[in-house]
Structure 1
Amino acid sequence: MKRFFLNYRLAVLLMLVFLLGSCKKFLVEEPVNSTFAGAYWKSSGDLRSAMAGNYALVRDVMNSGNWNPSPRYFMYGDAIAKNYFTIQYNGDGLEGIQDGDFTFQYNVENFGDWTKYYKAITMSNILINRVPKVADDLLTDVTNPTKFKNEMLGEAYFLRAFTYFMMLRVWGDVPLVTEEYDDPISAPELARSTKKEVMAQIEKDALLAHELLPWQYSLVGNAKVTANKGAVNALLAHFYLWKATMSDINSSQPDLETVDKADKAIDEILNNGMYSLTDTSNYYKTFEGLSSEGIFEIAMSENTREGTNQHIANMFLRTAQLATTGTNSRCYVNADYLTNHFYKIDQVWDWYWNTSLQQWEWKAMPSQVFDDSDIRCRRNFTDLNSDKATCIKYQNVVYRNPSQKQDPYVSNNLIVFRLADMRLLKAEIALYRNQVSKAIDIINEFRKRNGADESAFVDNTSSKDDVMYEYIIERGKELYLEGHIFYDLLRTRQYSNFIPWLSESRFRQEGFYWPINPALFKNNNKLTQTSYWRGKV
């Protein structure tokens, strides 16, 4: 393919590869056997099929990795923060990223390659360009053609904004492609646009999506797994907080005007009332998908034959949860993560040094000890007595050959945005506004709701810095393995407490961004390597 742009015919060919199969699935529609430009855009079904292809391409972005199960969405967002879990050696060098070395050959070739993102962006560009051109009289099975087309456009703008937002957090500066090119040969070679320009485009697209999309879904089966106004607001909340804190990495003071925009987006979600926290008695329902608190998810349910054997769960689950795996999983939960996040304060007898008497004393002192009373500890992890605990947050395994427990597929949607995430972000916003007591209340509400020992509640006399640390601890419990941890640590500047390889000096050099695969330079002379990685890759 010339440069990194997709010819729209090639984009649809790729889309149809994804779409082969049953028309009962959300991400799968019956392929249209016709030329794309000449005959495709002539019915509501054509538009829905194209949109399903757009979602399928975004799913492929998030769920792809190397030849081992290693979904990039979690490698970028979670695995880099080494203190949360460990990736064991398996011949692909993936464990190298946990020490801050992104230069292993297979990591650069797979996780340094943004081609899949641009395939998804190209599909969005096609929809944005072509949907308005479809004549209303062709949409005979749609009650309100204008409303229908607006929703199609809104979803396309959302997916383009979301895709660029994922790229922004991984690479920083990326080329901006917002046009549909009929011929990739004539498409211009584009340099990497600045982060400021990329953020401006994300905001523009998201606000257009916000204007075009309703809260309610036109089709019941589209709930949660397609974009609505709630999904747009959740994206805007994360985007604005990233923009407020990461536009100037030399400052630890967020831009409060932008923080206010994030707060407004979250308030729209909370005030709408269509989302509610899942009852803790149905804890796993949240992560199977389509729960009351889900805002936006990627469809991966076996109910519609869309389960996957490339889920992040495949890196963690062992024989007890997934019959076809062994007892030694690729990843395990660090013991330090468990003791640092799930604890209570107890009297611990030990030898303590008395500085005034200059001698050791045997006595009881209040100390932090591991405690599994929090439901997020009891339900998310097993093998707690070993030094390699297992994460079972995603364990909805369905065997397509159930009698022999063969051909397993993980049937957990990929949870992108949910209500608990939004409510916790309010604590971060409160801290940026120096509303420390408000942040404490939010954190303690989560600990109370999930059954944590009262001794683990944040004390009302805690300093702002201490509360920010406890906030990150709380997000690390609530959103473990949901693709947020690394970005949370960067935004809040708490990375030094949890990522050994990320020094302040490297942070200032933007050494948290990924290099790009040098193979991408071959057909685009205007591309340059990520600044930190020049001369290293």
Structure 2
Amino acid sequence: MKKINLYIISGLMLLTATSLFSCKKLLEQEPKNSTYQEAFWKTAANARSAIAGNYGLLRTAMMDKNIRYYMYGDAIAKNLFTIQYNGDGLEGIQTGDFTFQYNLNTLGNYTLYYKTIAMSNVVIANVSKMTDAQLKDVDNPTAFRNNIVGQALFIRALSYFMMTRVWGDVPLVLTAYDDPINAPQLPRTPKADVMKQIETDCHNAINMLAWGYTDQGDAHVMANKGSVYALLAHLYLWRATMANVASDSPNLTDVNSADTTINTLIAKGGYTLTDTVNYKSIFIGRSSESIFEINMSENTLEGSASGIGLNFLNNTYVNNFGTNPRYFTVPRYLSQNFADNDSLDVRYKKNFDVSNPEKPICLKYSNVVYRNPAQKLDAYLSNNMVIFRLSDMVLLKAEIALYKGDVATARTIINASRKRHNVNPTLVDASETASDVMDEYIVERSREMYLEGHLFYDLLRTRRYADVVDWLTLSRFRQEGFYWPVDPALFRQNPFLKQTTYWLGKV
């Protein structure tokens, strides 16, 4: 992690020349000194540009390296998602071998997350100091200042949350350095401390943000209170069962905190479940149940020419594509999760093309827009990356109920989800044990959250990984062998780093 702060000031310089969510070629910029910083933070427009750049860096970190957000959260859940072999080594992660050189140097490298965090630190430090006079062009300088800082706190918290689920212990950087050349190199911080900082950032952000949006153009793609509550709920549940993997008993303090957090979110957020008639609109973006998503819409020319959905599509759906998509859905996923009359489930009918039953196509993200529509050329995927939504939160309530021993409530939540999506669903029977209902919960999560970056973490939290991820034995789990190794290139830049414990001597 050599001098991650080299990107800070150069990022600010770049912001003034780029549009919303477009931060490019940061590595090619020369660092600027603090004199430029002092010249930059003068107006509300400067602050808006800075937070826009922060979101741009977050998007880049999540989209980079084969859309890493899905690689970590879905791809290694072997029997739920798979990659057609194409010789690039990605298939290695599905056997539990994270040591392929390509994967180590890409998915094992967290530099882009730290570029995002570095920008958050700069925004927090500088916008906090902006005076009311500098913000005279906004109606309420205090609310504006709080809103920008609150969003930066959320972005920092989300970045650390994503990293600690992938690597466990990670360096904790909370300072914006005026002199990036001489910024300190840091060791990895224990994951308990990282998670505590995420919690602190979330609480601070909640106090600064509102539930709604002043500008509806910001809705769902920029953070508000609801976004932070959703992140906090996931943090509590992750910490409840993953802070100590030597035990399978959840920490009920964190479970109760998750419960309270979700209750507040549902009561005050104003989110509503999308009618199944409009099911596909959820993944185009900005639906009524959306809590936070990454903007990737062609409405703002922010579509993706390499989005996860395009990798599943063939020439039936995209002009000039080949007959065999790069990725496909494992047939076993469909047969195990949508058996018998469950094929009537709207999530089965809308999300999958099973014309080739050996290589089903996922259609969850298939809103293709051509920038040259007359000739159907320059295909871009116009589907926002949904990070948190109401259906996710509602189902987490079933997990919480099971941790508390309330099997009846969990069963009711699961069955309600099935009834909403299917005219004749297979329901969870009242005679089923708590363990059986947890299995049914994972089935329902697998249906609802497929290819949304959650499934592998669901399996880890609930200890249902052995049913799906055959390479993750109990022994390896207890050794935290689900975490990723750190790219060896980072050790040449930072002598204080240590390799992830499970991978010592293996990388």
Instruction: Mark yes or no: TM-score above 0.5.
Output: yes
Deviation digits for residues 14-57 of structure 1 (CA, Å, limit 9, x no counterpart): 556xx63xx5x56689xxxx974132111100000000000000
Does the 8 A contact of 2:21 with 2:53 survive in 1? no
Who is 1:251 aligned against?
Answer: 247
CA distance in 2, matches of 1:255, 1:474: 24
Which residue of structure 2 aligns with residue 424 of structure 1?
395
- Report the equivalent of 2:234: 238
Unaligned runs of 5+ in 1: 345-369
Structure 2: which 5+ residue stretches go unaligned? 25-31
**SS of corresponding position for 2:78:** coil
How far off its partner does 1:405 sit? 1.3
Which residue is equivalent to 1:373?
Answer: 344
- Which residue of 278, 282, 287 corresponds with 2:278? 282
> AA paired with 1:247?
A
SS of 1:71's equivalent in the other structure is: helix
> Which one of 298, 302, 313 corresponds to residue 302 of structure 1?
298
Q: CA deviation at 1:487?
A: 0.3
Cα distance change of structure 1 residues 428 and 384 upon mapping to structure 2, 3 Å threshold: farther
Match of 1:485 in 2: 455
More helix by share: 2
Where does residue 446 of structure 1 map in the other structure? 417
Aligned length: 498
1:40 aligns with 2:40: yes
Structure 1 position 233, deviation (Å): 0.4
SS at 1:296's partner residue?
A: strand
Q: Residues 43 and 15 (structure 1 numbering): CA distance in 2 closer, same or farther, change over 3 Å?
A: closer
CA distance in 1, matches of 2:36, 2:282: 39
Following superposition, the deviation at residue 384 of structure 1 comes to 4.8
Query: Structure 1, residues 315-352: CA drift from partner, whole Å, max 9, x if none?
Result: 211111122321111111111110110123xxxxxxxx
The answer to whether the aligner puts 1:272 opposite 2:268 as a matched pair is: yes
- 1:60 match: 60
2: CA distance between counterparts of 1:61 and 1:4? 14
Sequence identity (%)? 54
Q: Distance in 2 between matches of 1:128 and 1:44?
A: 14
Q: CA deviation at 1:224?
A: 0.2
Q: Distance in 1 between matches of 2:400 and 2:278?
A: 29
* Cα 1:450–1:384 shift into 2, 3 Å: farther
Within 5 Å, which residues of 2 pair with 1:150-165? 150-165=146-161
Letter of the 1:161 partner, please give it: A
Structure 1 position 87 matched with structure 2 position 58? no
Whole-Å Cα distance in 2 between the matches of residues 391 and 79 of structure 1? 14
Contact 1:295–1:419 (CA under 8 A) maintained in structure 2? yes
- The residue aligned with 1:357 is none
C-alpha distance in 2, partners of 1:27/1:237? 30
Contact 2:83 2:90 in 1 (8 A): yes
Contact 2:330 2:360 in 1 (8 A): yes
- Indicate if the aligned counterparts of 2:67 and 2:308 stay in contact, CA closer than 8 A: yes
Query: Cα distance, 1:241 vs. partner?
Result: 0.2
One-letter identity of the residue aligned with 1:491:
R
Match of 1:510 in 2: 480
AA partner of residue 259 (structure 2): D
Contact 2:21 2:57 in 1 (8 A): no
CA contact (8 A) 1:381 1:389 kept: yes
Task: Report the alpha carbon displacement of residue 13 of structure 1 after superposing the two structures with TM.
Answer: 4.3
Given that 1:301 and 1:411 are in contact with CA atoms closer than 8 Å, whether structure 2 keeps it comes out as: yes
Which string of whole-angstrom CA distances, capped at 9 and with x for unpartnered residues, describes residues 164-188 of structure 1?
Answer: 0000000000000000112233211
Cα distance, 1:452–1:173 mapped onto 2, change above 3 Å: farther
Is the counterpart of residue 326 in structure 1 residue 316 in structure 2?
A: no
Aligned to 2:9: 9
How far apart, CA to CA, are the structure 2 residues paired with 1:132 and 1:427?
40
- CA–CA distance in structure 2, aligned partners of residues 112 and 452 of structure 1: 44
SS at match of 1:458: coil
Q: How many angstroms does 1:292 deviate by?
A: 0.2
What CA distance in whole angstroms lies between the structure 2 residues aligned with 1:327 and 1:475?
A: 31
Higher alpha-carbon deviation: 143-152 or 84-93: 84-93
Amino acid in the other structure paired with 2:422: G
Is 1:436 the counterpart of 2:407? The answer is yes
| Match of residue 467 from structure 1 | 437
Give, in angstroms, the shift of residue 468 of structure 1.
Answer: 0.4
Partner of 1:382: 353
CA distance in 1: counterparts of 2:51 and 2:178, whole angstroms: 19
Q: Secondary structure at the match of 2:181?
A: coil
How much has 1:273 moved relative to structure 2?
5.1
1:412 to 358, 383, 397: 383
User: Is the alpha carbon distance of 1:14 and 1:512 closer, same or farther for their aligned partners in structure 2, counting shifts above 3 Å?
Assistant: farther
* Cα distance between partner residues in 1 of 2:12 and 2:105: 25
**Structure 2 counterpart of 1:226:** 222
RMSD: 1.6
TM-score, normalised by the number of residues in structure 1: 0.90
1:503 counterpart letter in structure 2:
T
* Range with bigger deviation, 379-388 or 74-83: 379-388
Q: Runs of at least 4 residues of structure 1 off by over 2 A?
A: 1-8, 10-16, 25-29
| Alignment deviations for residues 61-107 of structure 1 (CA, whole Å, 9 cap, x no partner) | 11111xxxx20000000000010122122222001101111111110
Residue 214 of structure 2 aligns to a residue in which SS?
coil
C-alpha contact (below 8 Å) 2:311/2:327 kept by paired residues: yes
Query: What secondary structure does 1:522 align onto?
Result: helix
The answer to whether the 8 A contact 2:6-2:181 is kept is no
Of residues 72, 85, 99 in structure 1, which corresponds to 2:95? 99
**Contact 1:6–1:122, Cα closer than 8 Å, also in 2:** no
Match of 1:195 in 2: 191
The one-letter code of the counterpart of 1:423 is: V
2:210 and 2:225 in contact (8 A); partners too: yes
Partner of residue 119, structure 1: 115
The structure number with the bigger radius of gyration is: 1
CA contact (8 A) 1:15 1:57 kept: no
Partner secondary structure for residue 185 of structure 1: helix
Which stretch shifts more, 467-476 or 382-391?
Answer: 382-391
**Paired residue for 1:178, among 163, 174, 178?**
174
- Deviation digits for residues 375-401 of structure 1, max 9, x if unmatched? 000000002552110000011100011
Residue 210 of structure 1 pairs with residue 232 of structure 2:
no
Shift of 1:406: 1.1
Q: Could you state the TM-score of these two structures normalised by the residue count of structure 2?
A: 0.95
CA contact (8 A) 1:26 1:222 kept: no
Determine the C-alpha separation between the residues in 2 that align with 1:138 and 1:5: 26
